[in-house]
Amino acid sequence: MSNHVDSTSDERTVNNAVRHKYRTLSDAEKAQMQAIKDLGAEFIAKLHEIGGTDPEGDRFASRDLSLANTHAEDAVMRAVRHITA
């Protein structure tokens, strides 16, 4: 059994927009990916709390909090890319 799935398959794992083949993740990798995403979401929620902004919105109270959000999103993406590579 192959550990890759065609990008057009309904079974694909969406882990990078530019890959044409996707690796099937182990349960441990799936758990790691979920944990990283949960930590990122928790951090971004804290940024909204600090700034007094709506956590469902995309606006932050300052440019610094907005940049912190951007870097948090980037950090999550890069950690997930490491797990799914």
Residue 38 within a domain: yes
pLDDT of residue 85: 85
Distances (CA, A) of 21 to 12, 39, 48: 8, 27, 36
Domain that holds residue 55: 25-84
- Per residue in 15-34, pLDDT (tens digit) is 556 666 777 889 999 999 99
Domain assignment present for 56 = yes
Residue (of 76, 33, 56, 34) closest to 68 by Cα position: 76
> Whole-model pTM?
0.74
Residue 10 has pLDDT above 60, yes or no: no
User: What is the per-residue pLDDT for 73?
Assistant: 97
* Residue 12 is assigned to a structural domain of this protein: no
Instruction: Give the DSSP H or E segment for 65.
Output: helix 63-84
- Judge whether residue 45 has pLDDT over 90: yes
More confident residue, 26 or 6: 26
Mean pLDDT calculated for residue range 50-75 = 96
